[in-house]
Structure 1
Amino acid sequence: MSEVFYIDLLIQNDDFLLNTGQEPELCNNRQSIGQDIVHAILESGLATELIAERSPTLRADIFTRLELLVEGDERIVPGTVTVSEESRSRLWVTAETEAFGVISAGVML
């Protein structure tokens, strides 16, 4: 197992995941980076813009902005980010991290 560099509280269904002792579960490294990417996308407002936009050209622009947002994370290798639309209510983000390989994360819009 690799060394732990990033530690975060694990969030599922927009809430902290609690263990049997009602204490927050922790996540680290790959899972933490993926979770940070999802939150960055949601907090940026780009997901909301994507829902509202119908023009294919302007939607493509939003996807490019999403990729640039994710690439702005220092833990991500630039040029490796792919953002695709799984459905009208879910995005799929794939990127390569500097230290932990490829990660994938789903973003519910």
Structure 2
Amino acid sequence: MSEYVDLLIVGNDLVLDPSNQPVLVDDRASIAQDIAHMIRDSGLLVTLVAERDRLRQRDCIQQMELLVEADERLVPGTARIHPTAPGQYLVTATTVKFGHIKVTL
């Protein structure tokens, strides 16, 4: 039995199976999706991509890490955000019950 269940959202749209029923994600995938949506909804990602000053970029990354750290399903101190390409970031963290997660933004 899954502890966390959510609807799968890809590209800001609900994913449906062949019978037009919503696809569900659970536990680790649900937490990862929640983190991605939390960051997107905060507006910090837009600010980070638009920012040119490296010091302000680092400040914005720290704000996003603190936002992610506030999720009680994660082990405190494990959230990290790393740039992978221009305008893309990798969020890594460890969940309390389900292990390591990675989210690309």
| Structure-1-length-normalised TM-score | 0.93
Q: CA-to-partner distance for each residue in 1:14-73, whole Å, 9 max, x for gaps?
A: 211110001110000000000000000000010011011100001000111111000000
Distance 1:16 1:86 in 2: 27
Q: Which range moved further: 86-95 or 16-25?
A: 86-95
Q: How many residues align?
A: 105
Tell me the secondary structure at the aligned position of residue 22 of structure 1.
Answer: coil
1:11 aligns with 2:9: yes
Structure 2: runs of 5 or more not aligned = none
Structure 1: runs of 5 or more not aligned = none
Alignment match, 1:79? 77
Tell me the secondary structure at the aligned position of residue 63 of structure 1.
Answer: helix
Tell me the amino acid that sits aligned with residue 50 of structure 2: A
What is the deviation of 1:90? 1.5
Alignment match, 1:46? 44
What is the deviation of 1:77? 0.7
Tell me the amino acid that sits aligned with residue 88 of structure 2: R
Q: Decide which of 18, 25, 28 is 1:27's aligned counterpart.
A: 25
What is the deviation of 1:89? 2.3
Query: What is the root-mean-square deviation of aligned Cα atoms in Å?
Result: 0.8
Distance 1:17 1:84 in 2: 28
| Structure-2-length-normalised TM-score | 0.96
Tell me the amino acid that sits aligned with residue 75 of structure 2: V
Alignment match, 1:104? 102
Distance 1:105 1:58 in 2: 22
Tell me the secondary structure at the aligned position of residue 37 of structure 1.
Answer: helix
* Identity, % of aligned positions: 42
Tell me the secondary structure at the aligned position of residue 82 of structure 2.
Answer: strand
